Structure 1
Amino acid sequence: MDVVLDDTDIKILSLIQGNARISNADLAREVNMAPSAVLERVKKLEQKKVIIQYNAVINPAAVQQKLLAFIFIKSKEGFTCSTDMAKKLAAIPEVQEVHHIAGEDCFLVKVRTADSAGLMQLMRNKLQKIPNILSTKTTIVLETAKEDHQLVIPKKNETA
C-alpha cells in the first residue's frame, strides 16, 4: 500500500493515535487548519485505510484477563500454513493476535485468559478442535515491562 502522507497527515495521525477521542476542533487547532479541512483529511485517511479503526485500550486485569500467553503453533501442512487455519485461530475470542511466522512453527498467537485453567480450557476445547495442528508450544508471561499498541510515526524527512 503506497499512500503518500504529507507533514499535516503525519501530525494528524500522531495526534489521533495519542488520543482517539480528540475533538475535530482541537485537532484543527493543533495543525493550524480549519475544522472542515481537518475533517476532510481525516475522512480521506479513513478511506485510504491509513486509519483503520478507533479503539479504547482497556486494562486486562480490570476485566479478569490476567493471564497473557504466546502460543507457537506447528501445522501438519508445514511451511504452507493455510489461511483457513489462520481464520479459525482468529475466530477464537481469547486470541488477540495471529501471526504467520517464518521458522519451525507456522503461527504465533497471542492469547489472554483469566488464569491457567482458562488457558487449559482454551487449549482443550478450542485449539484442539482445529484440524491440522501438529503441535503447540506455550509461553506464559510472568510480567510485562512494556506493551504498546501505538506505531512509531516517522516525520516526513525521516522516511526512506
Structure 2
Amino acid sequence: MKPVKLDGTDRKILEILQANSNITNAQLAKEIGLSPAPTLERVNKLETSGVIKSYHAVIDPGSVGIGVSTFVMATLKGHNKENIEKFIKAIKGIDEVVECHHITGAGDFILKIVCADIAAYQQLMLEKVSNIEVVDSLQSMVILSTFKDSKSMPLPNA
C-alpha cells in the first residue's frame, strides 16, 4: 500500500483523533485552527483513503472479567499457502484471539489471546487452538503485567 501524503494539518488531526476519537468536529476544528466544514472534509478524506480505518472504545479488560492475556507463538506443519489460509480461517472464528500476526523467526504466527482466567485459557487451547489441523506446535507466554499498551501510531514527518 502506497503511503498517503499527509501535511501538518492532517498529522495534527490524526494526533488529536488518536488521543480522543470522541471529539466533536467543532472542537477538532478549533484545535487545528480551521472552520468546521474544511475540518470535516479533511477527516472524511482521511477515512475514505484508508488512513483512518475505524473508531473504537478502549475497554479495561479487568472491568469486563478478562483476567488472563497471553501471547502464543504458533508454528504450522508446513508453511505453504494452503496451511496459512486454513490457519487464518480457523483463528478468525475464535473470539478470544484478539490479534493475529504473520511473523518471521522461530514461529509462523503470534497470537494475542484474552480469557477470563487460566482455566478458560486452558480449555480454549485444548479445545480450539491446538485442534487446528495445520498447527504443529504452540508456545504460550502469559502476560504478567503491561507497562505500555499504546493505540496511537507515531506519525513520521513528511
How high is the TM-score relative to the length of structure 2? 0.93
Kept after mapping to 2: 8 A contact 1:101/1:108: yes
Any stretches of 5+ residues in structure 1 without a counterpart? none
CA distance in 1 between partners of 2:137 and 2:95 (Å): 21
1:22-41 residue pairs with structure 2 within 5 A? 22-41=23-42
Shift of residue 151 of structure 1? 1.2
> SS of 2:5's equivalent?
coil
CA distance in 2, matches of 1:104, 1:86: 18
Give the CA RMSD over aligned residues: 1.4
Q: How far apart are 1:144 and its partner, in Å?
A: 1.3
Decide which moves more: 82-91 or 39-48: 82-91
Tell me how many residue pairs correspond in the alignment: 156
Q: Indicate the residue corresponding to 2:59 in structure 1.
A: 58
Q: Matched residues in 2 for 1:109 and 1:16: separation?
A: 27
- 1:76-108 per-residue CA deviation (whole Å, 9 max, x = no partner) reads 013765133123213210011101111121100
- Do the aligned partners of 1:79 and 1:106 also contact (CA within 8 Å) in 2? no
Corresponding position of 2:118? 116
Q: Percent identity?
A: 37
TM-score w.r.t. length of structure 1? 0.92
**1:46-81 superposed Cα distances (whole Å, 9 cap, x missing partner):** 000000000110000001111010000010013765
> Which runs of 5 or more structure 2 residues have no equivalent in the other structure?
none
